[in-house]
């Protein structure tokens, strides 16, 4: 949670200049709330660090794909990183440009490749030889040349959760480092591919710079070998993955992170190449909170439970990754705290949002689940036939509804029963 965007005024949590209690009253709960200022400041930290350097920022759409969020970045001149044709459609609907968009993803379909080529995306990050052949065939059918970059797996340990580590030999992503040089040679031989870059993404929620530098050293060594084979690599895509503070993590400041990587590339003699950054979590994670209301307090022999109206279908990260999110009261209560597991109403033992939290509560109280701007709403589902939450964007003292709350009837509108 961004302390500048989300802060207490007279004991009441505010999102910028708006009381979180008033947002819950007006729009209901569960409710995702985003701060435009927090989004803006995080993006500017990247953009400012790239100013005067041969580097560009491509927002990872998968972290938060709300149109209003994407539009905030598009207005500031951001590029985008997508992993589906659906995300491409969102980028364009939000005011972004296909020619500033990199198309990543390990399993692009031929139809998605066709849509990307017809739209004119900046580059395809390709992850296997079969995908190279498929893209070459699609480009041939359209009479086009597809700009490609190979995602190379450097086998670097990003020291993060195994589910969000992507740069090891055991991960499904990328071309094996030992095969990369030969794979580039195959790509070069394909008539409808234009090899323009090299790509690497080693994981997510990374809080140290050293894994990036290790990966860069391997990547730049490979670039020199590829160019010795007669190809020119115009850009180096360093991916995303920079972590945020959920609890007591101390990731590097965005500006320091960007400067360190760019300086390292220059020192290795590769400063003439364009560098792509693809941040997601570090842009949006602490720009959002999830508001939820306490339904019941249930004491138990071993645990006390605070049962709230948000659940694992609204925020999957705790159940999926055992992820920690700070949980704070919207209105501070001057009373003795108790230890609670904060859980939802979904019929699963894994439906928990926080364990062993010290909170002073009565039924009806509002809680804010912090750092929920990344991989929050985008991973939500309708499990237990639960409508997904509404989303709000706060801008100063104004709050705008940027996604309506779903209604139950919408959830089965496309279904039908069997005829007699």
Active site residues: 347
C-alpha to C-alpha distance for 198 and 150, rounded to whole angstroms: 5
b/e code 291-324 from CB counts within 10 Å (16+ = b): bbbbeebeeeeeebebbbbbbbbbbbbbbebebb
Structure tokens at 115: 């849509």
C-alpha to C-alpha distance for 68 and 276, rounded to whole angstroms: 23
**Burial of 212: CB neighbours in 10 Å, binned 0-12, 13-18, 19+:** buried
Beta-strand runs (E) in 204-320: 235-237, 274-277, 288-298, 305-308
SS3 content of the chain, % helix, strand, coil (to 5): 35, 25, 40
Structure tokens at 261: 């990587």
C-alpha to C-alpha distance for 347 and 257, rounded to whole angstroms: 42
Cα-flanking dihedrals φ and ψ of residue 406, to 5°? -70, 155
What lies within 8 Å, CB to CB, of 181 at 6+ separation is 222, 225, 226, 229
DSSP state of 77: T
Beta-strand runs (E) in 134-287: 146-153, 175-176, 193-199, 235-237, 274-277
Task: State the first-to-last Cα distance of the chain, in angstroms, to the nearest integer.
Answer: 54
Query: What is the DSSP code string of 11-47?
Result: TEEEETTEEHHHHHHHH-SSEEEEEHHHHHHHHHHHH
C-alpha to C-alpha distance for 290 and 310, rounded to whole angstroms: 8
Type and span of the H or E element at 186: helix 180-189
How far, rounded to the nearest angstrom, does the alpha carbon of residue 137 sit from its chain's CA centroid? Answer: 31
Q: Between 110-119 and 85-93, two packed helices, what is the crossing angle to 10 degrees?
A: 30
Which residues is 149 bridged to in the sheet? 125, 197
C-alpha to C-alpha distance for 35 and 286, rounded to whole angstroms: 9
């Amino acid at each position: 949670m961004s302390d500048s965007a989300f802060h207490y005024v007279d004991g009441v949590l505010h999102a910028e200049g708006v009381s979180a209690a008033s947002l819950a009253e007006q729009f209901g709960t569960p409710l995702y709330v985003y701060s435009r200022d927090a989004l803006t400041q995080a993006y500017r930290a990247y953009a400012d660090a790239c100013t005067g350097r041969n580097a560009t920022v491509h927002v990872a759409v998968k972290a938060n794909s709300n149109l209003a969020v994407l539009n905030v970045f598009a207005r500031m001149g951001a590029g985008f990183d997508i992993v589906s044709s659906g995300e491409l459609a969102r980028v364009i609907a939000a005011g972004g440009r296909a020619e500033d968009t990199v198309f990543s993803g390990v399993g692009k379909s031929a139809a998605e490749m066709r849509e990307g080529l017809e739209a004119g995306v900046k580059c395809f990050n390709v992850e296997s030889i079969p995908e190279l052949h498929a893209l070459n065939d699609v480009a041939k059918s359209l009479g086009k040349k597809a700009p490609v970059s190979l995602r190379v797996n450097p086998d670097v340990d990003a020291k993060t959760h195994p589910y969000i580590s992507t740069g090891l030999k055991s991960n499904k992503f990328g071309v094996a480092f030992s095969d990369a040089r030969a794979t580039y040679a195959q790509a070069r031989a394909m008539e409808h591919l234009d090899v323009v870059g090299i790509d690497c993404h080693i994981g997510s929620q990374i809080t140290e710079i050293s894994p990036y530098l290790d990966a860069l050293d391997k990547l730049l060594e490979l670039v020199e070998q590829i160019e010795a084979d007669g190809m020119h690599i115009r850009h180096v895509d360093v991916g995303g993955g920079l972590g945020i503070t959920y609890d007591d993590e101390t990731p590097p400041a965005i500006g320091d992170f960007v400067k360190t990587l760019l300086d390292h590339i220059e020192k290795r003699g590769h400063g003439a190449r364009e560098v792509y950054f693809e941040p997601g979590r570090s842009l949006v994670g602490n720009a959002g909170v999830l508001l939820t209301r306490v339904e019941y307090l249930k004491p138990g022999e071993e645990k006390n439970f605070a049962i709230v109206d948000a659940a694992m279908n609204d925020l999957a990260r705790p159940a999926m990754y055992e992820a920690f999110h700070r949980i704070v009261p919207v209105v501070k209560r001057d009373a003795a705290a108790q230890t609670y597991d904060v859980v939802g109403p979904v019929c699963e033992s894994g439906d928990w949002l926080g364990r062993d939290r010290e909170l002073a509560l009565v039924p009806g109280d509002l809680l804010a689940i912090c750092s929920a701007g990344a991989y929050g709403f985008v991973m939500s589902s309708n499990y237990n036939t639960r409508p997904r939450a509404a989303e709000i964007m706060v801008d100063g003292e104004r709050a705008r509804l940027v996604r309506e709350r779903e209604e139950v009837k919408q959830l089965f509108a496309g279904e039908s029963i069997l005829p007699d």
